[in-house]
Structure 1
Amino acid sequence: MATNLARKSFNVTDECLHVLCDPCRFTGNTTVAIKYCTDCNGHLCPNCVNTHMKGKNTKKHTLSFIKTKRTSSNTRASEGTAQSGKSFDTKCLEHTKPVVSYCLTHDALCCRVCIASTHVECKLQVLSEAASRSRDSRELRTIESGIRRLQTKFEETQRKKQGILQHLGLQNDTFSKAVKTYRKTLDNILDKLESNLQKGKDRHYDGKVEELRGCLKICQDAVSVLTGSLNEIDIASRQGDDQSLFLTLKKVQAVSSRYETVLTDVEKQLPRNYTFHFQPDIAIERFLKGVNELGTIRDESNVMNGPYIS
């Protein structure tokens, strides 16, 4: 209601509602600013305007209504967007609220919750102003290059993990053969011990396979998401709307940063040279009745060049 009153009383455009009052923001509130003080270099809401005009040291300051410049091309782009029923509103990744400002201090898009909580003392900028030079900036090329690099790494990691998955199958067969070979030197009492070890091996193998499948799924999802991000940049670039492009760049930049961390975690799981094999317990012949398993499962990561060898 307060926003509507401010718009009605001061004839504020919808674009001005993206600017917040600086004094109120510093106290934790998110009040809409309607005027700008050229002497203080600050944005003011109706209440703060009244206070400013009555203050001893500020009553002679020059105040002007906030106006957001809009080029004819941007106007046509906006009209075209409205006619097509599409919206370029970008949601905050943390709070899922509409983005209203750009934080110069942290290079981040901010919703009203962000501003009131973690960007109270930051230097904020109107989105249209922040986006004015994004199309010709190096940031566009840097983000696209970073996404392609990250996408390539995920695809490479996906291929490596697929090779490890196939190698685990070969290791599983080798393991079983080794167990059977060693089993020939023992009596029927080894049936139980073999069963215990095979069950342990199956749990171990299933766990590793599940882990790798999880990695493969993450890689697949990452490649899909990053491909979508590149498509979003391409669409935004061709539509000619600078603000839309800026918002898209910041959105995919955050997504790209998130998947950088995901890639680091995925690459740590089961390296390419990971193997596991049967390790017999020679002392079992002397202490057959005193053991609970036929042997142990030992993980190894040997440096391997070329294809896997069983």
Structure 2
Amino acid sequence: MIDVASEVPEIAGLHELSGRYDAILCDVWGVLIDGKRHFPQAAAALKTFRDRGGRVVLVTNASRPDDEVRRQLLGIGLPQDAFDDLVSAGELTLLDMIARKGQACYHLGPPRDNGLFEEAGRRLGAPLRKVGPDEAEYVVCTGLFEERAEIPQDYDERLAALKARDLTMLCANPDIVVAIGDDVVYCAGALAERYAAMGGRVLMFGKPHPPIYAAARERLARLNGAPVDGSRIVAIGDGALTDLAGAGRAGLDCVFITDGVHGEELRPGGAAVDPAALARLIDAAGARPVALARAIFW
């Protein structure tokens, strides 16, 4: 286990890091929104960072195209001036789907994610060929069909059948779980993990995997007119195996939000951070945050 004897500092707000960074790559779920509402203080802090010349790109494992994610965020009240751009795992999955033009795909996930396939059709100029699992040439996994009533183990037989056909799975959201309000539900990553354990080939496009960080840095370079040095970029997120691990793999600093998805583990009873719990998460992520914060404040 990684030694955390020298404690990771806890900051009260982003002002404590002012001047150290030119850009923020910010997680969305658990940091800016809970799926039902946005967090005004977080939005205000990011706006202040931008007002002082910084750039903000949201980096999300949402399984929907960028434009659809943007509409969802604005629809629940997140101000447009809180960020410059965003990149989603769904957008990167979409680009891979388009590159497979002509191949038939099976959608493993809820109907609400149909926007991903409709957008693929728009960009291709013809409907994407969606078929059943017995006819498919690849699989796009966006989640469980009934996330509030099912668990990943319920899919073992279905996944085994896909593996028997040696189908590649595109995982549009590597998250294992996500909090929606007070509920915690399984995501596409939980199914992809089980498929990989069976020997199935899985392509992951979101955090902690490299493609989404490369895409985010491309967006920053476009906004800035030139690449932003990695030492001047900080990632902010609440997931140890996604945000913290991904920042570490990308060579970026990370501010780890402690009141997010790991809140009950890190702060049992709402108390101070449990050092042993923090050590376990750092060890699991294989990366150490530059700072901790309960939430995003300026």
More helix per residue: 1
More strand per residue: 2
Q: Which structure is larger by alpha-carbon Rg, 1 or 2?
A: 1
Q: Taking structure 2 as the reference length, what is the TM-score of the superposition?
A: 0.18
Q: Which has the higher contact order (CA 8 A, sep 6+)?
A: 2
